[in-house]
């Protein structure tokens, strides 16, 4: 069964998510009064369904966030909870169960339980195949986790084939230069890097950074300065002009951008201009996350890098962000 491998998790099923789900669980556990009208009962059923769907979204996001943070063990209870609520709402054979299977599959890969991962991914694949018109975002995620499994086995050609399918389906929904497509590029680059094809890997990493740089410049929006206060020139997390990053996407950005930075910080062939863009992107990310001191370390490093390499590139956005952060940190 689903829980065979993870029996030990049952007693700690809510670790990491307990706080977030308590308030949502209260209405689900309140008994229906015996004396109530048909309309009241229908309203309550609608409310319960809405709460259960909220629970599914929240536990899926929490499970994904743990995975991006490398906390594979902690992702399991959240994913099992998402699976239970998905079964309660949609039944045992719905494609809505697939995201939970994929989180469980990825957690199993991270824990080195590749046979268990195969089982979850087989269940996901079977469900996707028998669902006509299955959403492209689900197919994209499924191929990504299948790619991770093949990469973990050292089967690089098969991993690359899966990542290509991931990118294709993500691009169908979002376009080729979108953060939801960037994960496929990132994992593909990792495979090329492991194969020793570093030039190809570095080019793809540069594309990943470029995608996140574009989005984060929209999320952390620099506006025209207001004379009486320089601080008012900066508006964080503009929600109406771009999509808002959820916790899982924020964790994904941290994982990917820091992984690229760790690989490239001592790699002269990556190029100073690429490094400046990467440092600017990391600064924007940490500013968005309100980590101003960390963000300023990256803007300072970007400015120093540009000066040392005598780059002829526009540094005004980096310098403006650095000035804002200097005021924030002081």
- What's 226's DSSP letter? B
Banded pLDDT at 23 (limits 50, 70, 90):
low
Banded pLDDT at 255 (limits 50, 70, 90):
very high
Banded pLDDT at 147 (limits 50, 70, 90):
very high
Query: What's the CA gap between 193 and 177, in Å, rounded?
Result: 21
Query: What's the CA gap between 49 and 85, in Å, rounded?
Result: 10
Instruction: Give the per-residue pLDDT at 30.
Output: 60
151-160, 191-200, 225-234 — which is least confidently predicted? 225-234
Nearest to 97 by CA among 74, 126, 72, 73: 126
Tokens describing residue 322: 């650095």
Instruction: Give the per-residue pLDDT at 29.
Output: 57
Average pLDDT over residues 156-182: 96
**Tokens 């990391």 correspond to what residue?**
282
Inter-residue contact 245 to 253 (CB < 8 Å): yes
Inter-residue contact 187 to 147 (CB < 8 Å): yes
Report the helix count and the strand count for the chain, using DSSP H and E: 13, 2
Banded pLDDT at 227 (limits 50, 70, 90):
very low
Banded pLDDT at 47 (limits 50, 70, 90):
confident
Inter-residue contact 63 to 103 (CB < 8 Å): yes
Q: b vs e for 105-123, b when ≥16 Cβ sit within 10 Å of the residue's Cβ?
A: bbbbbbbebeebbbbbbeb
**What is the pLDDT of the chain when averaged over all its residues?**
86
Banded pLDDT at 20 (limits 50, 70, 90):
low
Classify 131 as helix, strand or coil: coil
Q: Which pLDDT tens digit goes with each residue over 64-73?
A: 999 999 999 9
Q: What is the DSSP string of 61-92?
A: HHHHHHHHTT-HHHHHHHHHHHHHHHHHHH-T
Beta-carbon contacts of 287 under 8 Å, excluding residues fewer than 6 positions away, are 220, 236, 295, 321, 324, 325
Instruction: Give the per-residue pLDDT at 4.
Output: 44
pLDDT at 1 over 70: no
Inter-residue contact 252 to 260 (CB < 8 Å): no
Q: Which pLDDT tens digit goes with each residue over 96-135?
A: 999 999 999 999 999 999 999 999 999 999 999 999 989 9
Average pLDDT over residues 153-176: 97
Average pLDDT over residues 206-215: 96
């Amino acid at each position: 069964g689903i829980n065979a491998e993870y029996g030990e998790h049952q007693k700690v099923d809510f670790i990491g998510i307990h706080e977030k789900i308590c308030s949502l669980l209260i209405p689900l556990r309140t008994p229906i009064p015996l004396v109530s009208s048909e309309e009241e009962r229908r309203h309550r059923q609608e409310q319960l369904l809405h709460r259960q769907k909220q629970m599914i979204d929240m536990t899926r996001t929490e499970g994904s966030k743990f995975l991006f943070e490398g906390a594979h063990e902690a992702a399991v209870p959240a994913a099992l909870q998402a699976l239970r609520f998905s079964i309660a709402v949609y039944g045992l054979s719905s494609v809505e169960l697939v995201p939970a299977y994929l989180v469980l599959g990825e957690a199993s890969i991270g824990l080195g339980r590749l046979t268990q991962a195969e089982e979850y991914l087989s269940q996901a694949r079977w469900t996707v195949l028998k669902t006509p018109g299955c959403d492209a975002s689900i197919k994209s995620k499924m191929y990504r986790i299948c790619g991770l499994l093949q990469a973990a086995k050292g089967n690089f050609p098969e991993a690359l084939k899966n990542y290509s399918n991931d990118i294709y389906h993500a691009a169908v929904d979002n376009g080729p230069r979108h953060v939801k497509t960037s994960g496929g590029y990132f994992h593909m680059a990792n495979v090329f890097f492991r194969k020793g094809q570093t030039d190809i890997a570095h080019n793809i990493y540069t594309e990943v950074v470029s995608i996140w740089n574009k989005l984060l410049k929209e999320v952390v929006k620099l506006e025209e300065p207001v004379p009486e206060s320089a601080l008012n020139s900066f508006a964080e997390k503009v929600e109406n002009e771009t999509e808002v990053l959820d916790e899982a996407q924020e964790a994904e950005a941290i994982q990917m951008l820091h992984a690229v930075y760790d690989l490239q910080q001592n790699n002269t062939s990556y190029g100073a201009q690429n490094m400046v863009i990467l440092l600017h992107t990391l600064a924007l990310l940490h500013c968005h996350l309100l980590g101003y001191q960390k963000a300023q370390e990256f803007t300072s490093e970007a400015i120093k890098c540009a000066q040392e390499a005598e780059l002829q590139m526009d540094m005004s956005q980096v310098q403006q962000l650095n000035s804002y952060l200097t005021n924030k940190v002081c």
